[in-house]
A and B are shown apart, each in its own frame.
Chain A
């Protein structure tokens, strides 16, 4: 009733208005259309609403249109952009229009592997991101920039080392020993595990699609179980020719100030107390004003007394040294990235090319990474039916140096009186300046990737595409450790090496695509094909030990006394048949069937071929009349899918019987022996782990996934909500089964055991304001995953990861019934206050003394407390997997300004903080006068136990990125169509209760051993379009 009234009023108003304007003159309106970065958009359709007139923008993004008199509404349409309607006032003659990327557009086309699908026709769980939505901050690999962008995709950047990649988990980790990384597919070429996509400049990326459920990922069969990330690079478009230059200049600072001793006196007091409490004899207390032997020759080192450090020793002058290692070792690094790109084309030829120079300085001195990448993409129509094209990518990287410690004593100088790097003894290998300046560590890589394809339109509904892709990569690492700088150098009297690795990958894909409608009710899309891929990885290392001097470093390994070399090669072939059928009934009911058969040389003789079927259904409820009549939803879709994907996770040759070799000294020289039992890498105790017993039945891991989702769109997609829920069960886990050591082997690869992941994910986007001058969007993602190890054959618990010497055990485990990486160790309860309390707790010896950590006796050999704290008292004490991961994004555009911000948070995860007792907390240590219940006494010889003392809440919320941009008026400068400048801050602030000396985001296993500091980055960016 009310609505009718308003409509009536509106009609009346419009009639009067239109009548009044009938007499106005016809006029010409000129304008330009740009995208959000200010770059002109050619080919944008411009139509007058309600009239049959229209035009489109020229290559410079400009248009002119004749308007009849009166107020008009212009409609701007462009594929992949939000359609915009603007009203033109009666006397307006110019207009400037900015079109935004359209994430909500239901007609948007997504790349899903061997084809594309309209977003509205999806039956599976696919997330998508435009390349332009990536944060503008230096990143050597695009993987890092995906953090917080997509629901269901967890990205862990565990440090700030230049050139470092990221860990990506899609819907949880579903393999114990195989790869947990998603498959990365770039322009239809599966490149391998995601995590360090250094070869692609983020600015070249058109879109990123993530295939999360089995229905989507099954087309990649035995490589799809961890999800698939599809990167599509920018292609030229007909009718435009753009040249673009962009640069990023970044200054970084320390985001976390290292927690170190500030005062040499405090440091010395602590060291003395620790030595005394540790049972050192009087002369071995460090700071007592004593001269100590250096170790070789007659050289000595003087250790001042505390009084002397205080300047209170009347017989000595004041102590001259108070070395600020942070100042010497860290810097405010400057990073740069410059990209020059061009794209465009005609109806018959399309091209895109770009080149990038990227240089990233590490926070540690002498640690740099630089990278050169280039890309060329050409597509040519050979005739009306056949198109051929190529895509070539080149990448060079150079990496030098590495992380450096800053925790060295302030009491001693960095350099001795002769200007050499100072050492406290002949076996002191801790001077970071010596390491930075004298240790050689360089890594160079070259990658060349290319694809050639021919696409033939056989009929108007059937196409055939054949593609040949090749990938070649090479890396060379140079290392040299001088004899007086590192232990390895000392142990070997100089250690030099050259490590070479290269890989080649050859892929041939052949597939048919059919698109056919049968009447108006039936739409069919069908893909079927065959591919073969051959991969070869090759390594060799040359090592020289014991050199005359350190001058030549590793440049002449022949002069070493001992030379050794290693080489290996692994190759594997994959043959596959695949097919996908999409069927839409009445544009409401959608069905997808996908299957892939993979045959791999890596699989055992009894299981050479693997089959991965899947199916998905969706119901576009918004197409139903009863939903339409509600007038609430612009989109309402229910999705469900089920399918099977696999994980190859197994290295070549594992199915075969393999001999080991070892050397034995027989008087004059070493001789080499061969025989059964192939020793793998030594574990930390120097014990080898022997495999080599073949298994003809070895195969892939199998993941069954069930996925359901619902997509809501309101108010013409101004508000969209995508919600998903999934259940993944992975069976046949590749596992090293422990076999009876009396067989002469320790383990054998088998398929056994299972892991479950289940979770929910949510993505919300809303356009809060959408005015000509003002646009405000907000969005968020929420990712919740629950992981559980369900079974592992005969073992209930397997300790994994590094064996930490300080606690003499591994702390991460796979434990049945618990999430992966759960911690195993002792429980503790504060600090022991009296000897009686320590003894009563079941502790003995120095462990029972006041000031030590009070470990709890919770069990014994019979499962009940036995009054003794020993290995029986270990239990599950923490879980590094977060309860959930979330992010907020917002973007505000006002006239030519835009402001975007992203927040990223992780909640409810435990971090094992090996750096818990930092100096600021050492000051708070237990002493008889300060009976702390939080931090133990100083004790240099404490044998720490792995306990929940180290476990800290790792939740954090980070202001990941804030960017303020300004687009200059188009065509302001002759020859330059647009200029955009922006200022971006990355890692600006973190809300957390975690140890303030460190970043709370540590690796997937949640162990903080003081990794490479993550910098806070301030970036000035410039885009210029010609």
Chain B
């Protein structure tokens, strides 16, 4: 009898064993390529994921401003900031700079997400073509935006257009600037043709955004070539590209009604206005909201600018005290406004008087901020009076209408429309018209100077200096900063060099 037990036991054992030897794994709560990209809702979700990288900490909610503003005469950083900030501020970046590593990483995450949309969504046959084109077009827009940032920051980089499924795809060499620009322009033209004109919501690109970005891309190429900026020899004809820039800028300023010039400076930066108005200056923003759960859903960027001393109250409208005070709290005082940009504004420039906070109150006491101490006047472009703790709803503007107006001016040169565009921006700031008899070069220089004041702290200045080949002329000769390395292209992060075998210098 006992032997029967053994035999039965062993038989049962063998049965249960054979059923388990494969040990296949069934994941729980996880999505992957095999189960996704099947429906219209999946496509929508895929493009949302591609957008969602923009306001992350390493990208537009902090990193972008650290990288683009510290090297210029706009911002410096607090004394105990990390060494990477100092390297950027003092233009002596190395491949070990952690801030550059950060933005490199986030931008390539953006590329991977955009590629996932571009490569997978066209295969979703169950959705209407228009809707599919909208999503794929937005994917092209985002990929172009990331590569335009790459090419302006780092120059030649690996041009990834495939979705990575296996480590064997990882080694990839740098592409020449020309190839990168070809992809950017092709992507934006696809975006222009695929995306609708309708503005879906804040934080999403429509056709106008694609056109606006194209104008920016063409202007960058044209002026880089014209000024002899390093790396842009591949451009054949600067004037042809100025014409393209003008062409696309004009489409934005004259052929659409989803965005428009704001007459009041305050309104451009009032969250309640620019987020809710049917038409605003903000052509494309990285969108955030204070109800988000993590930084990246909300923004902490205002804390970077606001001094840390004490909670502050400022007038809602400097020009109209009857509108009362807003409590803007206190920040970390991480960024410090440099005296160069502060002093460049004319005393009556509203962009200084209305958009830079120089005094505040706390209780009954009024405090005046001194541009030469640690707590300095700061921009009020990024302020959320309804902040919840450290959570702010301040979007990070990527392209705004005034930028395109100034592109139109610069691309047009000292023509009637060129003067009209730049003077429109100056008039809003309470300034008179530009000298009407400027030479082409002097006019373009004046527009770039205007951009410096109009777009200060928005991440444009570094690229303007690079494309006009004036990093040394302006930063070193005019403002006494130093440049040791990374003037026109930042060094590629060491982590990439170490892990991508085809990137070895």
Contact = CB atoms under 8 A, between A and B. Distances in A.
Interface of A: 279, 281, 284, 293, 295-296, 298, 300, 385, 426, 456, 458-459, 464, 466, 490-493, 510, 530, 532, 545-546, 561-562, 564, 567-573, 575, 577, 599-603, 608-609, 652-653, 655-668, 670-677, 682, 685-688, 690, 693, 695, 738-746, 748, 794, 808, 845-846, 870-871, 941, 943
19 contacts: A281-B373, A295-B311, A459-B2, A546-B388, A569-B28, A600-B23, A608-B22, A656-B30, A657-B32, A659-B33, A667-B287, A670-B291, A675-B50, A676-B112, A677-B109, A686-B57, A686-B295, A743-B112, A871-B83
Given A458-B2, A659-B30, 19 more contacts: A295-B310, A464-B5, A493-B389, A530-B17, A532-B20, A572-B25, A658-B27, A658-B32, A662-B52, A664-B49, A665-B288, A666-B287, A670-B297, A673-B52, A675-B46, A738-B498, A740-B172, A741-B493, A794-B498
A674 B38 CA distance: 12
B7 to A, nearest CB: 11
Interface stretch (B201-209, B228-236, B349-357, B425-433): B201-209
A740 B170 contact: yes
Contacts of B101: 741
A742 B13 contact: no
A428 B359 CA distance: 25
Contacts of B288: 665
B347 interface: no
B311 A664 contact: no
B114 to A, nearest CB: 9
B167 A693 contact: yes
Contacts of A603: 23
Nearest to A744: B112
A657 B116 CA distance: 14
Contacts of A459: 2
Interface string B70-98: 00000000011011000000000000100
B27 A656 contact: yes
Contact of B109 (A571, A739, A744): A744
Given A456-B2, A458-B6, A690-B109, A673 B46 contact: yes
A748 B296 contact: no
B25 A652 contact: yes
A271 to B, nearest CB: 17
A743 to B, nearest CB: 5
B382 to A, nearest CB: 16
B45 to A, nearest CB: 5
Contacts of A744: 108-109, 111-113, 160, 164
B292 A665 contact: yes
Given A491-B390, A670-B297, A659 B36 contact: yes
Contacts of B20: 532, 573, 575, 599
B25 A601 contact: yes
Contacts of A426: 311
Contacts of B102: 687
The 4 nearest A-B residue pairs measured at CB:
A673-B49, A744-B112, A491-B389, A673-B48
Given A656-B27, A677-B112, A663 B80 contact: no
Given A742-B500, A808-B82, A464 B108 contact: no
A562 B293 contact: yes
Contacts of A941: 79-80
B365 interface: yes
B339 interface: no
B157 A742 contact: yes
A572 B201 CA distance: 43
A741 B83 contact: no
B160 A666 contact: no
A7 B57 CA distance: 91
B57 A562 contact: no
A673 B108 contact: no
Nearest to B62: A686
B170 A665 contact: no
A599 B21 CA distance: 7
A385 B310 contact: no
B321 interface: no
A550 to B, nearest CB: 15
Given A279-B374, A662-B296, A687-B57, A653 B83 contact: no
B244 to A, nearest CB: 29
B105 A676 contact: no
B158 interface: yes
B29 interface: yes
B137 interface: no
A88 B170 CA distance: 86
Given A656-B30, A658-B30, A666-B202, A742 B48 contact: no
A530 B16 CA distance: 10
B496 A569 contact: no
B47 interface: yes
Q: Which of B6, B45, B109, B163 has the most CB of A within 10 A?
A: B109
Contacts of A675: 36, 45-46, 49-50, 112-113, 116-117
A943 B101 CA distance: 23
Given A608-B22, A686-B57, A943-B80, A671 B160 contact: no
B9 interface: yes
A868 to B, nearest CB: 11
A577 B362 CA distance: 73
A570 B28 contact: yes
Contacts of A743: 108, 112, 160, 164, 169-170
Given A674-B45, A676-B116, A741-B105, A667 B27 contact: no
A664 B291 contact: no
A543 to B, nearest CB: 8
Contact of A666 (B48, B109, B389): B48
Interface string B27-63: 1111111101000001011111111111111100000
Contacts of B55: 664-665
Contacts of B49: 660-662, 664, 673-675
A665 B104 contact: no
A573 to B, nearest CB: 7
Contacts of A672: 45, 48
A869 B105 CA distance: 28
A666 B170 contact: no
A749 to B, nearest CB: 12
A464 B9 contact: yes
A657 B170 contact: no
A660 B31 CA distance: 8
B24 interface: yes
A464 B412 CA distance: 93
Given A458-B6, A658-B30, A676-B112, A663 B44 contact: no
A943 B363 CA distance: 31
Contacts of A458: 2-3, 5-6
Contact of B23 (A573, A670, A870): A573
Contacts of B30: 653, 656, 658-659
B499 interface: yes
Nearest to B165: A657
Interface string B307-319: 0011100000000
A492 B25 CA distance: 39
B391 A491 contact: yes
A620 B36 CA distance: 65
Interface string B254-293: 0000000000000000000001000000000001110111
A168 B109 CA distance: 40
A746 B500 CA distance: 12
A293 B363 contact: yes
A146 B174 CA distance: 58
A676 B37 CA distance: 12
A740 B33 CA distance: 21
Contacts of B287: 664-667
B473 interface: no
A657 B16 CA distance: 29
A681 B389 CA distance: 22
Given A464-B5, A670-B289, A530 B13 contact: yes
